[in-house]
Structure 1
């Protein structure tokens, strides 16, 4: 990489880093304001609050990161347009150095986004789920006072007959009426708060689960042992799904070991991988519309930053609403944007490429 490419790469990175720093600060403050009002983190100390706000950042940071990478490149190219550096690069036939810098910049950005999507964000989710499970265990432990009804959350009421010296619970009863369509009642002779590989669970022994529908239908299931995740009693309405926030490598290893690829995992891996390709598509789109000199003395009516944001929104809309199912859906908007960028780039390169020295008009 020559000096010009190095200079341009630093210029692009500086713009993107500044934008992402501002976005990251806004994300962190917003997450702090949201989490500080959640009951599960109250009375648990500032250290837990600080750590939980940090863990909430990666999921939102992914979208901001690839957007800031594209806008950073756009701002740098706009500045080069204003300072006539872009004109000098084209006149001096140094366009390969410009594109080399853009491709390296896009490649580094893609690696950062893929690392964030495939590794950091799943790890942050697992840590967040563990904190929530610990908070749920603390809440349940404090609420289970013998012969007294306690409300774990809106719509969930529990009571127990007694507590043993090792934490054993006798005569457990819980009523869950959060779901307007189904009311659940858990009754067990004994219970114990324990943990498994997914978090904290309430182990119910010798009891029944009673279901009552809104139209009065009743059903009952008996069990010798039933494990219920504590988050199902303290969180939102139960959707019968346990946490599966695995990293991509863990998914691949487990799928290879079992010889089966769950559709949910394939879709999740495709979604994470599309984030990286989105960086390349956006960078090529930006250089296609802003990497060539213009003779205009006035700024364009629509700033290039707004054009990039519009491209991001249109691409996300196409990805979300394209009538194609399966893992292919996550790549449709990105591929359309990539094709548009390559078409514009090819047309402008043909226009701006210098004529051969021996060429002349008849």
Structure 2
């Protein structure tokens, strides 16, 4: 790789990384705000919140990476054109297909990243989210106990908490236990936490007092305690985690278990998801070829690039939208997957043909004449002198 190739390769990947981080960060924030109830209503810590919401980032990168590559290539080509470097390289004997080589190498890096994320990283993050969510929601203290409300966990067991504090601490805990017909126990504690051990789940209470009313006795027994463990194992309900299609690794989609009930019920979605994973690394090549085909031809600084930029954006996003539509249709119509493959390779073929042929995308002359006439008409309208 020569010095020019290294310069273009590094510039493209640096722009790609910047755009990818920016777009992913913005979209991640919008997704993360949906899970803010983890901290508010369920009393989870900020680390738990960031951990769960952060696991969705690989799935976002899987969709955003090809678009970020398109933006990065557009930025690099615009920079080269603004500094007249494309014209100089063309005059030095660089053909358009030769100039495309460093962009192709950068695309290979992005495609490899997308393939790894689609095959392993994204489904691994999604299944970790589901498992983590199951652990949180399996605990009755997370699901039922709400600040300021009396929760009847059993016919003769009532618990109330005043508030949820950071770190999973329950403030102002009240317990009324009448499960034993021979006695009634009332517990008031300043705060408490949930601790899980091999023997079960316990509500550990701190700085409180216990009142025990026994049958046949007039006065209750009062006990002040600094720490008291209340067994909640009976109310911790385990939940089996059933992996969805997006949580399956690539090899699990390629060779699914025939006895899997999910596969038996949703075989069409397995098929569509499998081909989506296969096509994900192809999209960067299609986007790169089309973007370079519209913007890579040498132009002088006097020639407008707006039409070419608009054409590349329309081609890339049109290709992506049709791809989404084919993915949905492939669930019931397997032929739609073939259409998507043909569309992607057709887009790559058209882009390479335009690059090799040195096709310069410019607006039609009639369109430019119409725009110029309209601009002149508007200019004359504003120059018209005001009448008294």
TM-score normalised by the shorter chain: which range applies? 0.5 to 0.7
Residue 41 of structure 1 deviates from its aligned partner by 6.9
Say yes or no: does 1:284 pair with 2:289: yes
d(CA) in 2 for partners of 1:339, 1:300: 24
> Equivalent residue for 1:249?
251
Residue 267 of structure 1 deviates from its aligned partner by 2.0
**Is the 8 Å Cα contact of residues 294 and 311 (structure 2) preserved in structure 1?**
no
TM-score by length of 2: 0.61
1:135-170 Cα shifts (integer Å, max 9, x gaps):
2112477637111799xxxxxxxxxx979xx779xx
> Equivalent residue for 1:52?
52
Say yes or no: does 1:294 pair with 2:299: yes
> Cα gap change, 1:52/1:64 in structure 2, threshold over 3 Å: closer, same or farther?
same
d(CA) in 2 for partners of 1:149, 1:273: 54
TM-score by length of 1: 0.65
Larger Rg: 2
1:75-116 Cα shifts (integer Å, max 9, x gaps):
101111111111122222223542221221111111111111
d(CA) in 2 for partners of 1:256, 1:97: 49
When the two chains are superposed, the root-mean-square deviation of aligned CA atoms in Å is: 3.6
* More deviation, 262-271/121-130: 262-271
> Equivalent residue for 1:266?
271
Residue 320 of structure 1 deviates from its aligned partner by 3.8
d(CA) in 2 for partners of 1:273, 1:97: 28
d(CA) in 2 for partners of 1:119, 1:162: 49
**Is the 8 Å Cα contact of residues 8 and 98 (structure 1) preserved in structure 2?**
no
Say yes or no: does 1:315 pair with 2:316: no
Residue 344 of structure 1 deviates from its aligned partner by 4.7
d(CA) in 2 for partners of 1:47, 1:193: 23
Q: Which runs of 5+ in 2 are unaligned?
A: 145-151, 159-177, 181-198, 202-233, 360-388
| Displacement over 6 Å in runs of 4+ | none
> Equivalent residue for 1:145?
153
d(CA) in 1 for partners of 2:71, 2:338: 21
d(CA) in 2 for partners of 1:69, 1:317: 17
SS of 1:145's equivalent in the other structure is: strand
d(CA) in 2 for partners of 1:22, 1:141: 34
SS of 2:37's equivalent in the other structure is: coil
> Equivalent residue for 2:369?
none
d(CA) in 2 for partners of 1:37, 1:269: 33
**Is the 8 Å Cα contact of residues 271 and 327 (structure 1) preserved in structure 2?**
no
Say yes or no: does 1:103 pair with 2:104: yes
> Cα gap change, 1:139/1:53 in structure 2, threshold over 3 Å: closer, same or farther?
same
d(CA) in 2 for partners of 1:110, 1:331: 20
Residue 131 of structure 1 deviates from its aligned partner by 1.4
Q: Which runs of 5+ in 1 are unaligned?
A: 151-160, 169-190, 202-228, 230-240, 353-362
Aligned residues: 275
